[in-house]
Amino acid sequence: MIDLVWLIPLFPFIGFLICGLGRNVLPKALLGGIASLAVIVSFAVSLGIFLQFDAKTAAVVNLFDWINVGTINIPFAFQIDQLSILMLLIITGIGSLIHIYSTAYMSHDAGFGKFFSYLNLFVFFMLLLVLGENYIIMFIGWEGVGLCSYLLIGFWYTNGEYADAAKKAFIMNRIGDLGFLIGVFVIIATFGSSSFSAVFPQAQALVSGDTTLTLITILLFIGATGKSAQLPLFTWLPDAMAGPTPVSALIHAATMVTAGIYMIARSNILFSLSPVTMSIIAVVGLATAIIAAIIALTQTDIKKVLAYSTVSQLGYMFLGLGVGAYTGAFFHVLTHAFFKALLFLGAGSVIHAMSNEQDMRNMGGLRKKLPTTFITMLAGTIAISGLPPFAGFFSKDEILAHVFEHNVVLWVIGVLGALLTAFYMFRMMFLTFWGSFRGTEEQKHHLHESPAAMTVPLIVLAILSVVGGFIGVPEALHGSHWLANYLSPIFEASNSRLGELSLSHATEYALMAVSVVGVIIAIAIAYVKYVKNGHVPLADSEARPALAKLSYHKFYFDEFYAALITKPLDALSGFFYKTVDKSGIDGIVNGVSKAPVEASKGFRLLQTGNVGFYIFAMVIGIVAVLAYSFFKF
């Protein structure tokens, strides 16, 4: 079964080809069916491998030699271990649900076939990313998902803003990718290979704090900040909401954006040996989590709220990685994939019902019209807020427990962020589903619950969001933490270096109690403000208090980047073109050719045409020559 791993990416690729080539020929139902089936079959194969795989070491499947130049040998090879298997299950599992959902969601779109071909291509690249046996294959997937993200964000490219958002996503990802690529070069130069099986054992022999390792890990982390939307490269993700909603669910919530966490978890031994990088990751992660949460507080677009929430949750995952809670961070990847995909799909269902309205100021009171969507989204919201026993509680709690042990200040800020999360998520729920309807009559008339193809995935994901956390119930709550045991071969080396969590059960209970009580209070405040008092966010034109304004305008990050990078570069471009190239270098070149012309203009004046002058010059010349020869010899 494990030898058949190449089938997993193959099916989505075939799906991509069929949908891409047959997009105008085949009927929509068939296209959607083929695309969904491709991912479902991949899921089945992944499940088979998951059930069969019990080895403690990774299995490597070699396909062919890709690049072979001197000492650089890069085989096209796949690696199967616990980490990649879990990622396979997430990608193909949630991927299948989202494909099924999309068949209904996109049914009225002219680009139906194109959409599914892109979606399948994305799954293909994402699978390459997690299956790659070395950093280069990972990089193929890494950039490939970036491409699909570009294509899908710009899916409705006739809208110039959407096309710009797509471009921005690709370019910001590329900034990170350069860091990743150079990091890979350093890895190859240091370890002589980019294969995981060659790099990690060698790295284990190095001492903690090795400068090369620090360099490598910082460069890799730069890559991760691009792909996983962390400070300072996170601004593309909210703009990426320009894409169709299923895309936001699959790419910009559940899978692609977690690639950075996957990569760091995969390279955990390198990071465990670089305490400096670990601190940077923790701080960046926490800062992103807080800033994104603050921005989410005032957003009015339902997808933007979820986007900033994603950025914030990714920040938590990085915070977890930064304090060495690899299992916790990965656990959060899993649970977040469930509930954030659910929330996005739910939001999609709302948008679908509202005839493409995304502004929460025009929603309200939808819970009666969209009961399934409402119940499932509520489950997702509780899960993300971290109330037991929903999935988010366990993963977030595990991260925060590690943070507490690491540094109490970080923990306080982290819990604060969790409270903000609960507040803005319930604000979104209250604004959307409670109160009275604020949209137009036409929209009200059109309101309907989505078809089964959309609600069934919602229900499945809701169930997962509720029970998904039980795979990682901590010892303190009398669980066995199946996930930690399952992943132990991957994180063994790191855990033995960083040490296990050594908090007493009493402390753990206290931490849980603090966060749960805080979350309940935050929800209560949101309830009072948005349901009891019926507060609706201000219109764009109205003045806001300074802090709210800062939050509403996303801390002016985009404006800041435009002023600091984009505009100066464009100005530099003009300067180089006009001044350096045209006037400077070309001026010199033209000057060289002009010099003889100018000189000849001067010299031609000697030709007076006066014969007497010529003869006079000749005589003078002869006299001069004679005089010279007389005095010389």
Q: Which residues contribute to the site for another protein (CB under 8 A)?
A: 64-72, 136, 139-140, 142-144, 147, 150, 154, 157-160, 163-164, 166-167, 170-171, 174-175, 177-178, 181-182, 185-186, 188-189, 569-570, 572-574, 576-577, 580-581, 585-586, 589, 593, 604-605, 607-612, 615-616, 619
Angstrom distance (rounded) from CA 290 to CA 279: 17
Least distance (Å) between residue 163 CB and another protein = 4
With contact defined as beta carbons under 8 Å apart, do 435 and 531 qualify? yes
Q: Find the shortest distance in angstroms from Cβ 33 to another protein.
A: 23
Nearest-approach distance from CB 192 to another protein, in angstroms: 12
Q: How far is CA 38 from CA 61, 79, 109, in A?
A: 21, 21, 21
CB of 618 to another protein, least distance (A): 10
> Which residues contact residue 275 at a Cβ distance below 8 angstroms, ignoring those fewer than 6 apart?
208, 209
Smallest gap, in angstroms, from Cβ of residue 103 to another protein?
Answer: 22
Helices marked H in 228-274 — which ranges? 236-239, 245-249, 259-266, 268-272
Nearer to another protein, 208 or 610 (CB): 610
Which phi and psi (to 5°) does residue 67 adopt?
-125, 130
How far apart are CB 390 and another protein at their closest, in Å? 39
Q: Smallest gap, in angstroms, from Cβ of residue 215 to another protein?
A: 9
Give the residue with the Cβ less far from another protein, 135 or 411: 135
Distance CA 9, CA 115 (A): 18
Phi, psi of 65 (to 5 degrees): -75, 125
Q: Following DSSP, what letter does each residue of 407-475 receive, concatenated?
A: -HHHHHHHHHHHHHHHHHHHHHHHHHHSS---S-HHHHHH--PPPHHHHHHHHHHHHHHHHGGGGG--G
> Which residues have C-beta within 8 Å of that of residue 192, sequence separation ≥ 6?
71, 198
Rounded to 5, what percent of the chain is helix, strand, coil? 75, 5, 20
H or E stretch at 378? helix 371-385
3-state secondary structure (DSSP) of residue 69: strand
**Using CB atoms within 10 A of its CB, is residue 493 exposed (0-12), middle (13-18) or buried (19+)?**
middle
- To the nearest whole angstrom, how small is the minimum distance from the Cβ of residue 174 to another protein? 5
Alpha-carbon distance of 77 to 131, in angstroms, equals 8
Measure CA 270 to chain center.
22
Q: Is residue 468 a contact partner of residue 333, using CB atoms and an 8 Å limit?
A: no
**Rounded CA separation 331/328 (Å):** 5
What distance in Å separates the CA atoms of residue 333 and residue 392, rounded to the nearest whole number?
10
The DSSP 8-state label assigned to residue 580 in this structure reads I
| Residue nearer to another protein on the CB measure, 95 or 226 | 226
Q: Are 100 and 457 in contact (CB under 8 A)?
A: yes
- CB nearer another protein, residue 154 or residue 346: 154
Query: In whole angstroms, how close is the CB of 307 to another protein at the nearest point?
Result: 21
Smallest gap from Cβ 602 to another protein, in A, equals 12
By beta-carbon proximity to another protein, the closer residue of 470 and 576 is 576
Comparing CB distances to another protein, the nearer of 175 and 524 is: 175
Beta strands 59-69 and 72-80: pairing type? antiparallel
Q: Which two tokens stand for residue 69?
A: 């130049």
Q: Give min distance, CB of 284 to another protein, in A.
A: 20
Confirm if 294 and 420 have CB atoms less than 8 A apart. Answer: yes
Cis status of the peptide bond prior to 232, with omega within 30 of 0 = yes
Quote the least distance from Cβ 126 to another protein, whole Å: 14
Q: Residue 139 or 374: which CB sits closer to another protein?
A: 139
> Toward another protein, which CB reaches closer, 10 or 181?
181
Distance CA 229, CA 231 (A): 7
CB contact set of 237 (below 8 Å; sequence gap of 6+): 169, 229, 252, 257, 307, 310, 311
Angle at which helices 28-52 and 82-105 cross, to 10° = 160
Cα Dmax for the chain: 121
Distance CA 573, CA 565 (A): 12
569 vs 599 by CB, closer to another protein? 569
What's the min distance (Å) between Cβ of 368 and another protein?
39
CB of 65 to another protein, least distance (A): 6
Name the 3-class secondary structure at 325. Answer: coil
Least distance CB 574 / another protein (angstroms):
6
Minimal distance in Å, beta carbon 612 to another protein? 7
